[in-house]
Amino acid sequence: MNYKLVFVFSTASVLVQSSAYAFHGTTHQEITAKVAGYLGYDDPQTKALVAGNLGTDSGDWAVAKLRYEGTPVENIDAKLWNQAKTTTDGALKGLYGTNFLHFDHESFANGSAALRARLKLIMKALAAGKRGDALWYMGSSLHSIQDFFAHSNYVEKYSAATAGYKQALATITSTKLANYSSVKRYEDLFELKGADPKVKCAAGAVPTKGALTSGYWPDNVAAPGKCHHADMAKDDLGGEYHKAAVGAAKLFCYDFLLSVEGKIKEAYPANAQAWINYLKGKTARVGDAVDARWGQADVMRSGAVDAVYGRLALVRLEGGKDIVWVEATSTKPKTEAKPQPSETNEFSKDDRVAAPYSTRARFYPGKVTEKYGKLVRIQFDDGDRGWSTASRVYPIAEYLSCVSKSTAQACDQKFGLLNKPKGEENGASGPSIGDKGANP
């Protein structure tokens, strides 16, 4: 395979990190660029994906972005994170706390959590018109996916279990990805579980059965019975499993980019293709409902494309009086208004109430934090929270008045039978506000 530097970046800082920590930079770059090209991303958008991919190896930005931009990563190993912040070892300071971004240190559950978090960030950035941020998060996600196959025993394990699997992966090309739907995906990278501590690994004896494992980096930090990064990595071009790891990475990166399109279709069913075209840098079309930048204040206003002239689009803004020429690839599809329920309920924010949780007839004190149609969201006094139909919620004074004259058990039974939504009179389960402890 001929690994060439596809893009030249003006900012050298994206070309960082020793190749010992991941696929070689050119391999990451080639996988990303070819998969993006196959799916129709334009050159500037592909460069943004590559920048996000290569930037993941710099460590610090990734942790800051994932932890502090509104969608925290669940279950980050606090001990490792604190070591990364306090250590005086320069090699560890930038890397040790971000092993989950590379699926090193057997950090499979945290790596999956990081992928889920970035998928949320992608959609949040896209909705805000921050396409560059969305592409950066996508590129970072692609880097993690690629590292999963370079740093774990996925290829060794499933090649041993399935005849011809290694060869099938090694022959995958980025120009025929749609033809490889029959190649088995044995793991869901969004839902990986924690590592099995009983799995042993050693140089020259990478396990081909049992649970997944991955190497520890730097090579002097592996626990007894575990592999160093160097024992496990398939980064080198001439390695036995390198081509299979690259093929698997292409396949799963293709799946990931399609999953982003799937999320877009869920969020914007009426004009999903316009959003997908916007993400990929495609030119707006006449008649597209769009949001375009207006004036020196950089305000986004809604309108429709009247004409396309080369790389420019003429947008007639809502009201019909104002028109503006903008870059045809910079218009953001108009955000669809979410349908609002027609029902309402009598509760107000901060009302003190008694409400059940799950479908059990036990009532707990709390307050209303939000109302939405026939539903109310409850913040319970013990910290749990969730949604319920308003007909299953009662003013706290009314419930306490009952308790003062009877027992809590009798009142729970009485209030649980009152005003049940249709279909629950005979014991059918009703709307749930979520098990306590879930904190939705």
* Cβ(52)–Cβ(43) below 8 Å: no
**Predicted pLDDT of residue 430:** 32
pLDDT at 33 over 60: yes
pLDDT for position 243: 93
Cα–Cα distances (Å) from 281 to 48, 77, 142, 310, 380, in that order, read: 11, 37, 19, 14, 46
Give the model's pLDDT for residue 69. Answer: 37
How many Cα atoms within 13 Å fall on the side-chain side of residue 139? 32
pLDDT digits (tens, 9 = 90+) for 268-288: 888 888 889 889 988 777 888
* Residue with the larger pLDDT of the pair 30 and 391: 30
| Mean pLDDT of all residues belonging to the chain | 76
Question: What does the pLDDT average to over 340-366?
Answer: 81
Cα 237 to Cα 198: distance, rounded to the nearest angstrom: 31
Same fold, 284-339 and 341-440: yes
Is the pLDDT score of 246 beyond 70?
Answer: yes
The CA distance from 15 to 56, in Å, is 10
For residue 89, pLDDT over 60 is answered with no
DSSP label of 243: H
pLDDT band at 359 (very low <50, low <70, confident <90, very high): low
Helices and strands of the chain, counted as H and E runs: 14, 10
In three state form, how does the secondary structure of 352-373 look?
Answer: EEEEECCCCCCEEEEEEEEEEC
**What is 341-440's CATH topology?**
SH3 type barrels. (2.30.30)
Pairing of strands 299-309, 312-317: antiparallel
C-alpha torsion sign, points 159, 98, 264, 287 = negative
pLDDT at 70 over 80: no
Q: Which residue has the tokens 């990166």?
A: 253
Mean pLDDT calculated for residue range 244-267:
96
- Contact partners, residue 425, CB within 8 Å, separation at least 6: none
Supply the pLDDT for residue 2. 35
Q: Radius of gyration of the chain from Cα atoms?
A: 26
Residue 339: phi and psi, rounded to 5, are: -65, 135
Q: Are 190 and 115 in contact (CB under 8 A)?
A: yes
Host H or E run for residue 387: strand 385-389
Q: How far, in Å, are 264, 277, 289, 335, 337 from residue 271 at the CA level?
A: 9, 10, 9, 9, 12
Under DSSP, the state recorded for 419 is T
pLDDT band at residue 335 under the 50/70/90 scheme: low
Residues 345, 334: Cα–Cα separation, whole Å: 31
CB-based burial of residue 75 (10 Å sphere; 0-12 exposed, 13-18 middle, 19+ buried)?
middle
Its pTM stands at: 0.63
Quote the CA–CA distance of 235 and 27 in Å, as a whole number.
9
How much is the pLDDT for 360? 57
Q: Which residues are within 8 A (CB) of 109 and not within 5 positions of it... i.e. 6 or more apart?
A: 75, 192, 193, 194
- What DSSP state is assigned to residue 85? H
Domain range annotation of the chain: 12-265, 284-339, 341-440
The order of strands in the sheet holding 289-294 is 323-327, 312-317, 299-309, 289-294, 332-333
Highest mean pLDDT among 77-81, 90-94, 283-287: 283-287
Nearest to residue 104, comparing CAs of 3, 9, 235, 14? 235
250 or 97, greater pLDDT? 250
How many percent of the chain have pLDDT more than 90?
Answer: 26
Residue 213 pLDDT > 80: yes
pLDDT at site 1: 34
Q: Is the dihedral of CA 432, 435, 436, 437 positive or negative?
A: negative
- Extract the tokens encoding 337: 């208004």
Q: How many CA atoms lie within 13 A of 82 on its CB side?
A: 3
Query: Token match 């090649």: residue?
Result: 159
Calpha distance 219→198 (Å, rounded): 20
User: What are 103-125's pLDDT values in tens digits?
Assistant: 988 989 888 988 998 898 899 88
Phi, psi of 108 (to 5 degrees): -70, -45
Q: Which fold has domain 284-339?
A: SH3 type barrels. (2.30.30)
